[in-house]
Amino acid sequence: MTETGNLGGAQRGGPLGGGTNQSGYVAPNGTLPRANVNGPLQTTSIDQAVDRYIKQYLVTRPFLGISVTVHRLVRQELDAVERDLDYGTNQQQHGVTSMRGYQGPNHWLHSVGCAIDFNYETLPYLMREAGEGALDTALVEVYDRIASFLLGRASVIPQEITINAYDKTRREFLFRSLKQESDAMTKYFGLFMKEPDTFLVPYLASSDGQYRAKTTSWLNTPPASVPNSTNALRQIQQDWVTLTGRNTGPQILLRGESGSIYRNPCDVGMCYPAATEYRPEPGSDRPPDAPFVGRDPAKGFLTFDFEVVSALMDHGFTWGAIGFGAGGPKVGGSGDVMHFELTTIGKKVLDDAKRVVSL
């Protein structure tokens, strides 16, 4: 990228792939050009300056039939993904129902149009958001309990999704495992919690249910024992509260004097427990938020298919569900199911833009 000038200003080259140079003066502290020759300097933050600068490289067009605004380099890759998926012929959306790309300042690579989110309204960041270590400890127990009780295995969410996501065979293994757990979650919080007499009680009485229940931890139940249906339901309600951060759960189909009807669980002494309040952790400016805040875990957490994931990853996209590693106190890790980004290109676009507006 060509840059000329000194403290007074800089000739601005575009971010990676931006094309021809764009002339204009930007002050060393990140301020934008004067509103007029004799007027006062119009100052703004670096993030705001980057935002105004990057907009010249954004394009808005459909991907899988859904309009999205992204950097034009990302657009090139999305066009290639559509060709690989033969979208022009089959018009299949592969479970993608909504999409977000560019989101303005302070949204990491979304800020420069180098990231997209699928089905944001329903899909969560399962765990490992920066500064949420205490919440993650509780989430691990929930994900492991669902996988153990319904699939007879440990969840891949606590550890497996942080390891080696780019080998194609492992990529498919992790997707299939996550899809199994998503489907199990819909049963756990859908059929088992909402209609326990019809679905939970018979499962606990079945050979598979009893065997798997003994390898799962439950409220008020000794280890390696099968819980009664009341204790199992109380545990499922507690897990719902942990995932959603709220104690106003759905009504439950319970037997009563007037027969089986949907009722407020409190009517039969089965209120949802209070949600735990988590304080901001050191270095974080916000309290942890449960992954399904504003969402329903009974709908699962993975609603697009493997074909679109594989095509995107083949074209260099990182899938946030399996591609961010273990993370840490200040850096998010794997678990962001909705999120895809062109990590290497996006970082260069962002760094280039910050450098240009700071000169």
Q: CB of 165 within 8 A of CB of 223?
A: no
The torsion angles phi and psi of 263, rounded to 5 degrees, stand at -140, 155
Q: Where are the domains of the chain?
A: 58-124+307-347, 133-299
**37 in the Ramachandran plot: left (φ > 0), alpha (ψ -120 to 50) or beta?**
alpha
Distance CA 172, CA 169 (A): 5
**29 in the Ramachandran plot: left (φ > 0), alpha (ψ -120 to 50) or beta?**
alpha
Sequence-distant (≥ 6) Cβ neighbours of residue 62 within 8 angstroms:
68
**How many CB atoms are closer than 10 A to CB 118?**
26
Q: Which pLDDT does position 313 carry in this prediction? A: 97
Lowest mean pLDDT among 12-26, 81-95, 124-138, 202-216: 12-26
Tell me the pLDDT tens digit for each residue of 211-242: 999 999 999 999 999 999 999 999 999 999 99
Q: Report how far apart, in Å, the C-alpha atoms of 77 and of each of 113, 117, 309, 316 are.
A: 13, 15, 13, 8
Q: Which pLDDT does position 164 carry in this prediction? A: 80
H or E element that contains 38: none
pTM confidence score: 0.86
Q: Which pLDDT does position 268 carry in this prediction? A: 83
Residue whose structure tokens are 């003994």: 214
User: How does DSSP classify residue 33?
Assistant: P
Pair type for strands 339-341 and 259-263: unpaired
Tell me the pLDDT tens digit for each residue of 239-288: 999 999 999 999 998 776 566 688 889 988 899 999 999 988 887 878 89
51: amino acid identity, one letter: D
Lowest mean pLDDT among 20-29, 266-275, 301-310: 20-29
Average pLDDT (1-9) is 29
Q: Which pLDDT does position 19 carry in this prediction? A: 40
Distance CA 175, CA 309 (A): 9
Distance CA 192, CA 187 (A): 6
Tell me the pLDDT tens digit for each residue of 27-52: 444 444 433 344 444 556 888 999 99
**For 58-124+307-347, CATH number?**
3.30.1380.10
DSSP secondary structure, 229-295, as one string:
HHHHHHHHHHHHHHHHS-S----EEEEETTEEEEE-GGGGT-PPPPPPPPPPPTT-SS----TTTTS
